[in-house]
């Protein structure tokens, strides 16, 4: 299938590694020119060089996307953008009584207000040109909140609410906004979550992973490549009628009929 996006320009945030990188690589394979971002310049430059090997133009901007300064730097380098993939690291786990106002502000800034700021900056141009795609990387916890991820649950619920309304206000201009909800995927984030279980339970990393895999009907972790393929489809010209959806990629882990 021809995705119909060759020559478009995408900004993929937090994309030197993990799910963001998977999205960037899948878009590059469809001939999309890229603006990549991450805080650490070294891994970012390496990813940029590898993706240039697929024959697309890649601009790399080292910046913290969750700060106004970082957003301004990225948006200035990005220029006109047809496809926006928002992403950033997730907030730390914890216990409800340990979180103060400042913890919530940090989580809201990173996982709610940053994607909203980027959409506010780029949606007007997409609407004016009559074509655009936005995919926000959120979490399966949007559908099935995870108790120890209260900061993440709160921030992502806010973003999900914003997208539900906004997606329906921009659809008539040929612009779609959807959210992709990862379950457990084989990235540094999964390694760090498994590391937490190792420390708490005194088991090996292999055992921690085996136990987690046993809770997933697919009996394995997802891959960044699979995640990227789903993202590239949502960003394709073929996906123009998919509007304001929250799409789970979790190997069947979240059991709902709606
Ligand atoms: P990851 O493997 O840890 O990768 C994170 C990427 O984002 C790296 O390139 C990192 O580079 C960059 N990054 C992190 N914070 C950034 C910031 N403030 N500004 C710019 N770049 C930043 O994480 P992942 O597994 O791909 O997860 C991506 C998102 O999906 C997270 O929000 C996570 O909570 C969510 N999620 C993941 C899973 C999973 O199983 N993997 C499940 C549910 C939800 P630098 O560190 O150099 O900045």
6 CA → ligand 1 middle, Å: 26
Residue 114 beta carbon below 6 angstroms from any ligand 1 atom: no
Place of tokens 């379950």: 183
137 CA → ligand 1 middle, Å: 9
Q: What is the mean pLDDT of residues 240-244?
A: 98
- The Cα–Cα gap between 53 and 191 comes to 28
With 0-12 CB in 10 A as exposed, 13-18 as middle and 19+ as buried, what is 59? Answer: middle
Residue 139 beta carbon below 6 angstroms from any ligand 1 atom: yes
pTM of the full structure? 0.97
Helix, strand or coil, per DSSP, at residue 124: helix
With 0-12 CB in 10 A as exposed, 13-18 as middle and 19+ as buried, what is 135? Answer: buried
pLDDT tens digits along 107-131? 999 999 999 999 999 999 999 999 9
Residue 16 beta carbon below 6 angstroms from any ligand 1 atom: yes
Q: What pLDDT does residue 230 have?
A: 98
Percent of the chain at pLDDT exceeding 90 = 97
**pLDDT grade, residue 137 (50/70/90)?**
very high
Q: What pLDDT does residue 258 have?
A: 74
**pLDDT grade, residue 91 (50/70/90)?**
very high
Alpha carbons within 13 A on the beta-carbon side of 40: 8
The residue to mutate among 87, 154, 228, having the most atoms of ligand 1 within 8 angstroms of its beta carbon, is: 87
DSSP for residue 239 = G
pLDDT for 69 beyond 80: yes
**pLDDT grade, residue 104 (50/70/90)?**
very high
Residue 138 beta carbon below 6 angstroms from any ligand 1 atom: no
Beta bridge partners of 37: 61
The residue to mutate among 11, 14, 50, having the most atoms of ligand 1 within 8 angstroms of its beta carbon, is: 14
Residue 40 beta carbon below 6 angstroms from any ligand 1 atom: yes
The residue to mutate among 155, 187, 224, having the most atoms of ligand 1 within 8 angstroms of its beta carbon, is: 187
DSSP for residue 185 = B
- The Cα–Cα gap between 38 and 15 comes to 6
Q: What is the mean pLDDT of residues 211-222?
A: 97
Q: Centre a 10 Å sphere on the Cβ of residue 96 and count the other Cβ atoms it contains.
A: 9
pLDDT tens digits along 140-196? 999 999 999 999 999 999 999 999 999 999 999 999 999 999 999 999 989 998 998
Q: What pLDDT does residue 257 have?
A: 85
């Amino acid at each position: 299938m021809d995705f119909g996006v060759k020559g478009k320009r995408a900004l993929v945030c937090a994309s030197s590694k993990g799910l963001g990188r998977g999205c960037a690589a899948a878009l590059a394979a469809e001939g999309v020119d890229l603006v990549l971002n991450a805080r650490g310049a070294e891994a970012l430059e390496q990813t940029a060089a590898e993706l240039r090997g697929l024959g697309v133009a890649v601009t790399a901007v080292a910046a913290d996307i969750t700060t106004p300064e970082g957003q301004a730097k990225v948006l200035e380098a990005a220029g006109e953008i047809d496809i926006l993939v928002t992403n950033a690291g997730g907030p730390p786990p914890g216990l409800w009584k340990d979180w103060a106002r400042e913890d919530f502000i940090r989580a809201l800034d990173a996982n709610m207000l940053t994607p909203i700021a980027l959409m506010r900056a780029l949606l007007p141009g997409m609407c004016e040109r009559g074509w655009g795609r936005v995919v926000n990387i959120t979490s399966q916890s949007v559908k099935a909140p995870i108790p120890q991820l209260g900061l993440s649950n709160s921030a992502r619920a806010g973003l999900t609410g914003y997208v539900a309304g906004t997606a329906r206000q921009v659809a008539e201009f040929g612009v779609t906004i959807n959210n992709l909800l990862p379950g457990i995927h084989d990235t540094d984030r999964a390694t760090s979550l498994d590391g937490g279980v190792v420390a708490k339970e005194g088991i090996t990393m292999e055992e921690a992973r085996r136990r987690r895999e046993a809770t997933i009907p697919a009996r394995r972790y997802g891959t960044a490549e699979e995640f990227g393929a789903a993202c590239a489809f949502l960003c394709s010209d073929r996906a123009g009628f998919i509007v304001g959806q929250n799409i789970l990629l979790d190997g069947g882990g979240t059991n709902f009929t709606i």
